[in-house]
Amino acid sequence: MENKPKLVISTGAGMSAESGINTFRDNGGLWENYDVMEVASAEGFARNPGLVHKFYNDRRKELVKAHPNLGHMGLVELEKYFDVYVITQNVDDLHERAGSKNVLHLHGELMKVRTINPPYKVYRLEEGNLETSPESTDSEGRHLRPHIVFFQEAVPEIENAIKLTEQADIFVVIGTSLAVYPAASLLHYVRPGVPIYYIDPHPAAVPSGVRVIKKGASEGVAQLIDELTRGKK
């Protein structure tokens, strides 16, 4: 099979907005209703683990009712023409459920829990067993926590994400305010001359030369497919 160009796509909460999943910093975003330091930071987890478990239990129960949107499906369509790698800040599993084959989660995965202490063991939660608490343990009696990267914690997958970004022949950013590092720094690892697209209805400031598509994910990805596959169909 001929080598397809490598298309690397970095997605944020806006990718899942049309699936009914709240973003963080838009009007009505998650951080308007919760104190991020209480429910999504290492300090908050140490101080009140029960509150943190409940926060993620609630988001998990919402997630199982949500479905991938046309934006997620469009990224799967692009796999016909490109070697597609998705690097996501999102903890939902909507890219996987849409059929994306290569998904790298920078901030963890909502449907998974892991042992609190190393060696880490990761478990996938199934419907009907979506809630955890500070008392939750695995079969070896090891206490469990959400498999989420909290604020104040390292982002183990960032090195892999940078390597992928450095290999991109085309780089696309979708639905992120580019407010959180190190995820927001990926843009700077794209090789000179490699085209960069940014799909967002309220785009953050980006370097000149980035092709901004000021649309939501579904419409924006449809336009991207049209632009990237012109003459390939």
Residues in touch with ligand APR (CB under 6 A): 12-14, 17-18, 23-26, 29, 89, 107, 175-177, 179-180, 200-202, 216-217
107 in active site: yes
Degrees to nearest 5, angle at CA 113 with 49 and 151: 55
Listed in sequence order, the residues at least 6 apart from 49 whose beta carbon sits closer than 8 Å to its beta carbon are 134, 145
The minimum distance between CB 175 and ligand APR, in angstroms, equals: 3
Bridge partners of 122?
Answer: 114
Instruction: Give the C-alpha separation, 128 to 139, whole Å.
Output: 18
Instruction: Give the C-alpha separation, 155 to 17, whole Å.
Output: 23
The minimum distance between CB 140 and ligand APR, in angstroms, equals: 30
- Indicate the SS3 state at residue 143: strand
User: Is 224 within 8 Å of 213 (Cβ atoms)?
Assistant: yes
Instruction: Give the C-alpha separation, 109 to 125, whole Å.
Output: 10
Which residue lies nearer to ligand APR by CB, 182 or 201?
201
Q: Which residue is nearest to ligand APR (CB)?
A: 14
Instruction: Give the C-alpha separation, 173 to 154, whole Å.
Output: 22
Which residue lies nearer to ligand APR by CB, 40 or 113?
40
Among residues 107, 147, 188, 202, the one annotated as catalytic is 107
The minimum distance between CB 208 and ligand APR, in angstroms, equals: 19
Which residue lies nearer to ligand APR by CB, 58 or 83?
58
The minimum distance between CB 24 and ligand APR, in angstroms, equals: 3
Which residue lies nearer to ligand APR by CB, 134 or 182?
182
Q: Which residue has the tokens 């796509």?
A: 9
Show which residues are catalytic: 107
